[in-house]
Amino acid sequence: MSIFARRVATFGTTVFTEINALAQQYNALNLGQGKPDFDTPPDIVAHLAQAAQDGQYNQYAPGSGTASLRQAIVDHSARFYGLDIDPVKGVVVTSGATEGIFAAILGLVDPGDEVIVIEPFYDSYVPNILMANAVPVCVPLHPPTWTLDPAELQAAFTSKTRALILNTPQNPSGRVFTMQELSMIAELCIEHDVTVIADEVYEHLLFDSAQHIPIATLPDMFARTVTVSSAGKLFSATGWKIGWVSGHPDLVDGVGRAHQFITFAVHHPSQEAIAYALNLPGTYYQSFQSMYATKRQLMLDALAAGGLKCLAPQGTYFVMADYTDVFDGTPLEFTRYLVKEIGVACIPPETFYSQEHASIGYGYARFAFCKSDALLAQVKERMATFRP
């Protein structure tokens, strides 16, 4: 008999662990994990330090989050999207979006229910669904445009479908779903009485004319959507693990019931600092976007220097690059080659796919550009040596 419980027996060590170790061994520039290599803005850090020194915030926070952070979250949703969310019953603060997604699945999906996930996906979705004894049903985005086939999506809905996880802006493809795509998804969810778990952690990471449309703002969708977001990306504070789930009180109630027995409450001083940060004026949000516009350009230049093709990301700090013009082999072989011979680390996409659809990601690798401009310029120099 296996020493592990069946629910975790199929979970191996993630490819991130292997790539990080290889990157270290070969002193590679690491564009693997989506983790900024620059610091949180100093005024936000100062608020955290002040909260920790204040003496009021070092014990358990309220289970659903501090009143000031919950108010800041609903004010942010009203300011950017015109959403009217109840700060008491419509928000739960979680340990990052990762816990928010898990609590949403545990709180809103029954064993045996089917949950639709769009691939390539953030790697916690499927293990979360399996740990809830539910069944993942995967629908792929098709490269090079990373779009859904409406017939494939429609065919994924059955009488057992309970929820659909929607991530926009989308990691790893960099897609931002359009109103037309969202309307198609919404119509199917309404027709089949399905709840949407909307993962919007990159909601402010947008390029060019891309516009983030929360699916909760579409007609008749607020009552069937929980929206998950996070301070990690927006304030370059991934280590603080402050996330939240918001939406209709009836759905958020289910999420809160699970959350209270996962973490109960999350880091208290960070919540004070993130309440301050979410209330920052529009200039913060604009400068955040222009900082990333520069980084995206540096990334695109580096990929072009190496002869890799891609759809320029419309959002997020990730890009899926097609290496097939310059390398013949599997994504894992490409990634290992790039680390060892060129000194640049990226992630092979197997981890973002079900086995059934893994071949769709063949020929691609994911690069994260949440890195200093100087490092991205160095990546370009190294990638230029790759051209055959």
Ligand X SMILES: Cc1ncc(COP(=O)(O)O)c(C=O)c1O
Binding site for ligand X (CB under 6 A): 34, 96-98, 122, 167, 171, 199, 201, 230, 232, 238, 241, 243
Helix (H) or strand (E) holding 231: helix 231-234
Nearer Cβ to ligand X, position 196 or 383? 196
Task: Look up residue 292 and give its two tokens.
Answer: 């990333």
CB of 118 to ligand X, least distance (A): 11
How far is the C-alpha of 234 from the C-alpha of 198, rounded, in Å? 17
| Shortest Å distance, C-beta 101 to ligand X | 7
Q: Which is nearer to ligand X, 34 or 331 (CB)?
A: 34
* Shortest Å, Cβ 34 to ligand X: 5
Residue nearest to ligand X according to CB distances in the complex: 96
Which residues, 6+ apart, have CB-to-CB distance to 223 below 8 Å? 248, 250, 251
Min CB(121)–ligand X separation in Å = 8
Query: In angstroms, what is the minimal distance from the CB of 198 to ligand X?
Result: 11
Residue 167 vs 246, nearer CB to ligand X: 167
Task: Say which residues have a Cβ less than 8 Å from residue 134's Cβ, sequence separation at least 6.
Answer: 105, 109, 110, 111, 112, 113, 114, 115, 162
Q: What is the rounded CA–CA span in Å between residue 213 and residue 162? A: 23
Q: For residue 260, how many other CB atoms are within 10 A of its CB?
A: 15
Residue 274 or 302 having the CB closest to ligand X: 274
Closer of 238 and 314 to ligand X (Cβ):
238
Residue 109 DSSP class: -
How many whole angstroms separate alpha carbon 230 and alpha carbon 242? 6
Beta-carbon count within 10 A of 54 CB:
11
**Least Å from the CB of residue 122 to ligand X:** 4
In whole angstroms, give the CA distance from residue 282 to residue 18. 40
Nearer to ligand X, 139 or 342 (CB): 139
Minimum separation from the CB atom of position 199 to ligand X (A): 5
Between 68 and 124, CB nearer to ligand X? 124
The Cα 285–Cα 279 span in angstroms is: 10
Burial class (CB in 10 A: 0-12, 13-18, 19+), 159: exposed
